[in-house]
Amino acid sequence: MAQFADSPRFLGRANRRALAIQGGTVETVSIGPDIGKSALIIVDMQNDFLHRDGNFSHIAREHPEAQIDLPFLIGTIPNVKRLVDAFRAAGRPVVYLAHVLKPDYSDAAFPYWRVGIEPASGNLTHCVEGTWGAQIIDELKPQEGEHLVVKKGFGGFSNTPLDTVLRNLRVTTCVVRGDHLRLRVDDHSGWGRIQLSDDPRERCRS
């Protein structure tokens, strides 16, 4: 994990060492996560991904070969809510990332061709702006003043203001939680990261 000082310049990864000069000598110090300067990033917890009436649910029923485990995805909601409540109680920022697209997917920045979608091919429905499906699920609705960052592809930092938001909040460590984490939050800029998952096939990463 990489961690930033308060300035934009980052120091390096946690499993490495940073140089510190004290009393004319050079020594190494460990760098790790700083929960006191952390933010919780909630990723893609939207109706189309997690609600039984959402797009993923329809895909799971119509295409069982896709192996979408919707009960598992829905089962993550209470754990995410506990994290959200804990961060709010501690006065730490909660930031939402949401996948939101134009109805014709003309602004899509993901490999849509892999799922047989072509931009401008018609009125598509998954996570379309202004629809119920693109909204954050009721259990995790953002509160007033919390940031909702819209993304057009898988990367949470790619062509979004997420980096700017975190810097302005003086965040150095990101605790990441949500749907499809491996696809959604990249290692951009070396931000300190603690990534949590309910999936036993994945271990928590930092």
Q: Three-state SS string across 144-176, please?
A: CCCEEEEECECCCCCCCCHHHHHHHCCCCEEEE
Find the mean pLDDT for residues 71-93.
93
Segment 14-73, tens digit of pLDDT = 333 444 444 555 554 445 677 888 999 999 999 999 999 998 888 888 888 878 888 888
Q: pLDDT-derived band of residue 103, with 50, 70 and 90 as boundaries?
A: confident
Q: For residues 157 and 179, what is the distance between their CA atoms, to the nearest angstrom?
A: 16
**103 contacts 122 by C-beta, under 8 angstroms:** no
Phi, psi (rounded to 5 degrees) for 171 = -90, 140
Q: Name the least confident of 7-11, 75-79, 117-121, 182-186.
A: 7-11
**49 contacts 60 by C-beta, under 8 angstroms:** no
Q: Which sign, positive or negative, has the C-alpha torsion 182, 44, 39, 150?
A: positive
Q: What is the pLDDT at residue 195?
A: 56
Q: Which two structure tokens, joined as six digits, stand for 189?
A: 């800029």
Q: What is the pLDDT at residue 130?
A: 94
Domains observed in the chain: 33-195 (3.40.50.850)
